[in-house]
Amino acid sequence: DAGVIQSPRHEVTEMGQEVTLRCKPISGHNSLFWYRQTMMRGLELLIYFNNNVPIDDSGMPEDRFSAKMPNASFSTLKIQPSEPRDSAVYFCASRRGVVVGSYNEQFFGPGTRLTVL
């Protein structure tokens, strides 16, 4: 299995530009998570999906952030417009089960390092 795939691996953009991050979860996994990692705040959950449906987006910092999962094998995280404080590493993770209480381990992608100038 190829694992969780993220693209691009690095993104440098200017303030105000739109940024789209992409994720392909592990085949057969039903849950997908987007995280952000910064030195100050560590790893924070932004949003997660079960069976392509957004379940909890309370971690999304503001309306400039949006995420979609049009099918079981693809998700995007979009920032529009981007700001320097959005600079961070964004991780996507996937998990097999969706039943509450039967928690399976999450598998992480390599991350996208975003720099907003």
Partner 1 sequence: KQEVTQIPAALSVPEGENLVLNCSFTDSAIYNLQWFRQDPGKGLTSLLLIQSSQREQTSGRLNASLDKSSGRSTLYIAASQPGDSATYLCAVGVLSEKLVFGKGTKLTVNP
In terms of CB distance, is 48 or 65 closer to partner 1? Answer: 48
Q: How far is the CB of 47 from partner 1 (least distance, A)?
A: 10
In terms of CB distance, is 5 or 72 closer to partner 1? Answer: 5
Residues 52-111 that bind partner 1 (CB under 8 A): 55-56, 91, 93, 100-101, 103-111
Tokens coding 96: 């097999």
Instruction: Tell me how far apart the alpha carbons of residues 11 and 98 are, in angstroms, rounded to a whole number.
Output: 31
Task: Find, among 78, 66, 83, the residue nearest to 16 by Cα.
Answer: 83
Contact flag: residue 49 with partner 1 (CB under 8 A) = no
DSSP SS3 for 112: strand
Q: Which residue is listed with tokens 């992480």?
A: 108
List of residues contacting partner 1 (CB under 8 A):
4, 31, 33, 42-45, 48, 55-56, 91, 93, 100-101, 103-111, 113
